[in-house]
Structure 1
Amino acid sequence: MMQIFSNRTMAFLGMLALLAGCTPALSPQAGRDLFSQNCAACHGGAGQGGAQVPNLTTLAQRYGGTYPQSMVLDKLDGYARGQNAYAGAEMPEFGHLLTGPLTRVQTARGLSRPLPQHIVALDAYLQSVQQ
């Protein structure tokens, strides 16, 4: 059987595929900027919460050492769509986070779902600040 691509070419193509998923709009830095603009007023600049506001840096600790990405994405997407109360805590409406391009996110069950890039960036930031 004839080899169409060399190992070097395949490695290069693999790197390109990885970089395509790491666009600046989806980075933890982009998420940090969105967090500062939309969430820090209540959750604090570092996401550590307060007396009546959850600490977002301990999500993984509270869920058995695994970051609960599906739950976080559901909540962020729900807040953006106007579902502003979870467990009695009211959240502001973040409808503007639904603007812009969509991206597909792989879920724990091997499925993918389209979400706004702003939501995905916020999630990437929250994952990056876990203790």
Structure 2
Amino acid sequence: MTYHFKSPVLAALTGLFIIAGCTPFTTPQAGRALYGQNCAACHGADARGGAQVPDLTALARRHGGDYPQAMVLDKLDGYARGQNAYAGAEMPEFGHLLTGRLTRVRTGRGLTRPLPERIVALDAYLRSIQQ
């Protein structure tokens, strides 16, 4: 597919998104808005959680310094629902986030996984707030 752009800046940005495998809909900024609409009520506006709710800014720290992307994606898309890895951690259904365009995400060992852009955006935001 060939694209023709009048603006060299637009052409460069589009190329960057294609190379990076993301779209403007899967950026941390897009995920921040989704977080505010879907997650902040339980995890807090600062994502630090509380007595019964995990601190989402410490996911990487709790996993030896590596951001646990596969676990986060499983949790967000409901794939891990009912598995022992998340026993006692209730999450609401995010069916409305599972609709729309899909994008492929690298999940390690050269594998990719198709996921809705909204889930990918939330993951990007959570990765961006790790401390």
Say yes or no: TM over 0.5: yes
What CA distance in whole angstroms lies between the structure 2 residues aligned with 1:45 and 1:87? 25
Which structure ranks higher in relative contact order (CA pairs < 8 Å, sequence separation ≥ 6)? 2
Which has the greater radius of gyration? 1
Whether 1:121 aligns to 2:121 is: yes
Which residue is equivalent to 1:90? 90
What CA distance in whole angstroms lies between the structure 2 residues aligned with 1:101 and 1:118? 9
Q: Which runs of 5+ in 1 are unaligned?
A: 1-12
What CA distance in whole angstroms lies between the structure 2 residues aligned with 1:45 and 1:14? 34
Q: Give the alignment of 1:45-124 within 5 angstroms.
A: 45-78=45-78, 83=81, 86-124=86-124
Give the length in aligned residue pairs. 117
Check the 8 A contact 1:25/1:121 in 2, yes or no.
yes
Amino acid at match of 1:18: L
Give 4+ residue runs of structure 1 displaced > 6 Å after superposition.
Answer: none
3-state SS of paired residue (2:108): coil
Check the 8 A contact 1:84/1:90 in 2, yes or no.
no
Q: Which runs of 5+ in 2 are unaligned?
A: 1-10
TM-score of the aligned structures, taking structure 1 as reference length: 0.81
Amino acid at match of 2:72: V
3-state SS of paired residue (1:118): helix
3-state SS of paired residue (2:76): helix
CA RMSD of aligned residues (A): 2.1
Percent identity at matched positions? 69
What CA distance in whole angstroms lies between the structure 2 residues aligned with 1:93 and 1:104? 22
TM-score of the aligned structures, taking structure 2 as reference length: 0.81
